[in-house]
Amino acid sequence: MKPKMNNEELRALNQRRKIFQIAWVTRDLEKSMKAWVENLKIGPRTVLTFTDQSLTYLKVDKGIGVTQTGKFEADFHYYLDTEPKLNFIYELGNCPKLE
């Protein structure tokens, strides 16, 4: 079993890491954004709406593991049906071009 990192080791690792995107899917966008600002002082954010008009490819998989997958510019993404077990929907994607 690998030993846990101490704080200094974790800081050194995080200096080399790059996180480009973290996504949360919610049923009430306005309520969720308000809660993040009020409770965590996090904002503003970029809101993207994915539809069959804004995506090159959109497929919705009806509860069989992947609930949505699509392509937006260079980004392919997959929404996994994790809400029943994790209380949120998990997104996997390759991250679009950042400006």
Range of the domain at 83: 23-93
Dihedral of CA atoms 29, 33, 34, 36 in degrees, nearest 10, equals 140
Residue 87 counted as domain residue: yes
Look at residues 73, 22, 81 and name the one whose alpha carbon lies nearest to residue 50: 73
Count up the domains in the chain and report the number: 1
- 69, 77 in Cβ contact below 8 A? yes
* Predicted confidence (pLDDT) per residue in 18-63, tens digit: 777 677 778 888 888 888 888 988 887 777 777 778 777 666 575 5
Residue 13 counted as domain residue: no
- 71, 55 in Cβ contact below 8 A? yes
Residue 10 counted as domain residue: no
* Predicted confidence (pLDDT) per residue in 53-88, tens digit: 877 766 657 555 888 888 877 778 888 887 887 788
pLDDT of residue 1: 59
If you count them, how many residues does the chain have? 99
Calpha distance 59→68 (Å, rounded): 6
Residue 88 counted as domain residue: yes
What pTM value is reported for the model?
0.41
Please provide residue 42's backbone torsions phi and psi, each rounded to the nearest 5 degrees.
-105, 125
**Radius of gyration over alpha carbons of the chain, in Å?**
17
Residue 14 counted as domain residue: no
